[in-house]
Amino acid sequence: MLFRRGISRISSKFLRNRSFSQSLLASHRLSIIVPGQEGHHSCSDSTLKGYVCRGTTYSFKSPFFGGAGFTHHHHLYHHSSSAVEEELDPFSLVADELSLLSNKLRAMVVAEVPKLASAAEYFFKRGVEGKQFRPTILLLMATALNVRVPEALAAESSDIISSELRVRQRGIAEITEMIHVASLLHDDVLDDADTRRGVGSLNFVMGNKISVLAGDFLLSRACVALAALKNTEVVSLLATVVEHLVTGETMQMTSTTDQRHSMDYYMQKTYYKTASLISNSCKAVALLAGQSAEVAMLAFEYGKNLGLAFQLIDDVLDFTGTSASLGKGSLSDIRHGIITAPILFAMEEFPQLRKVVGQLEKDPTNVDVALEYLGKSNGIQRTRELAMEHANLAAAAIGSLPETDDEDVKRSRRALIDLTQRVITRNK
């Protein structure tokens, strides 16, 4: 399976580069726990000063992790100094380029038909574009792979002088965001959603037909931009992403009862629907930089594991968050009969929950019954722990990159590691 590869490779590479990895992690004051090497940092480690340590242990047996039961130790650290967080804020490091990217995206979705243009731009408008999580990752990854951010970024785009490579890599970020938003538009139609990012969803505001066409339009513009890069391997990667998005959605819609109750099936679907886009985009950034196959795979593994961690926390927040904080209705998945990780873990503890879940669509009151079982189970905690496992693997991939003395590169790598923690501690 897609998920089996890379875990042992990253771990061994991470350990071979331990001197660099430890210095990088020490400078960031973050502990990475690698399977099989648990506890090489402890809460008493001087490099962890200013952090609160929480340790959790759980056993998980699944073919997803190679078919053997093993114990994971997770340590999550929260920094107590806002000054350090501000210094390493990943979003501020690329804020100027994100502004450029937003302007470029608005220009790229201009269409001859005003209504189509308005629909295509709906989630690119100022104030609605979101935090631009994926472009931030890709811009940081570009710098982390020894590609410098231009030293002087002015407020006006005409004053900015970027290298050709940086412009091409920023193009990957633009393409990725268009594919992502297109998938949101299509998903909202399929899910009959009425909110997105705290505002009315496009299908709710303009109707399903316009929303589908706007998504198609964004994909077509993404294809044009992709072709302009003139790199067949990159084109193939991002074309595969679109295939994965369709495959993942189809898996969700057509799954059998046994598949819906399978964690392996759920994680495979989650990779297709969420993690494939960022993992293949990270790899594309590495390929454009002329990096080796090994480095490109580390970039891929970072994106894959970060994407999986992100979705697993999304699963948790759908049960624990509020509509206001999430920008969507809480319990939206289970109300649509979609079984996510917390319920899957709860079903392991309470097999009778399987029957309740199977009748969700026929009897909506079963949602409350399912929530009662979830509340009695360790489903939420185990999902958080699984997210931490993937966040640790993502950070280990960055720690395994070739050594460097470049401060900009090291700062971006620390920011990428910082993002792994932000993903699992977020509340929206």
Note the pLDDT tens digit of each residue in 10-44.
444 444 444 444 444 444 334 333 333 333 333 33
State which of 19-33, 66-80, 325-339 shows the largest mean pLDDT. Answer: 325-339
pLDDT band at 76 (very low <50, low <70, confident <90, very high): very low
Distance CA 322, CA 149 (A): 37
- Positive or negative, the CA dihedral 271, 390, 404, 295 is negative
Note the pLDDT tens digit of each residue in 289-298.
999 999 999 9
Residue 233 to residues 219, 238, 362: CA-CA distances in angstroms? 18, 9, 46
The residue with greater pLDDT, 367 or 68, is 367
Distance CA 403, CA 420 (A): 20
**CA 336 to chain CA mean position, Å:** 23
Q: Say if residue 161's pLDDT is above 50.
A: no
Q: Is the pTM of this model over 0.85?
A: no
Q: Cβ–Cβ contacts within 10 Å for residue 250, how many? A: 12
Tokens for 418? 């910082």
Contact 203, 211 (CB under 8 A): yes
pLDDT at position 202 is: 76
Average pLDDT in the 193-205 region?
68
Distance CA 70, CA 74 (A): 13
pLDDT at position 30 is: 40
Non-local (6+) Cβ contacts of 421 within 8 A are 30, 76, 77, 391
pLDDT band at 361 (very low <50, low <70, confident <90, very high): low
Q: Say if residue 274's pLDDT is above 90.
A: yes
pLDDT at position 348 is: 95
The residue with greater pLDDT, 315 or 366, is 315
pLDDT band at 330 (very low <50, low <70, confident <90, very high): low
Angle at 287 between CA 285 and CA 290, to 5 degrees: 115
Average pLDDT in the 148-154 region?
44
Q: Say if residue 130's pLDDT is above 80.
A: no
Contact 32, 10 (CB under 8 A): no
Q: Say if residue 332's pLDDT is above 80.
A: no
What letter does residue 271 receive in the DSSP assignment? I
Residue type, 267: M
Query: Of 119-133, 174-188, 371-385, 391-405, where does mean pLDDT reach its minimum?
Result: 119-133
Distance CA 179, CA 173 (A): 10
Query: Of 29-43, 132-146, 242-256, where does mean pLDDT reach its minimum?
Result: 29-43
pLDDT at position 27 is: 40
The interaxial angle of helices 18-28 and 407-425, nearest 10 deg, is 70
Of the CA atoms within 13 Å of residue 347, those in its CB half-sphere come to 17
Average pLDDT, the chain: 75
What H or E segment, with its residue span, contains residue 418?
helix 407-425
Tokens for 305? 């594991």
pLDDT at position 125 is: 65
Note the pLDDT tens digit of each residue in 96-127.
888 888 888 888 878 767 777 777 776 666 54
Tokens for 336? 């649509």
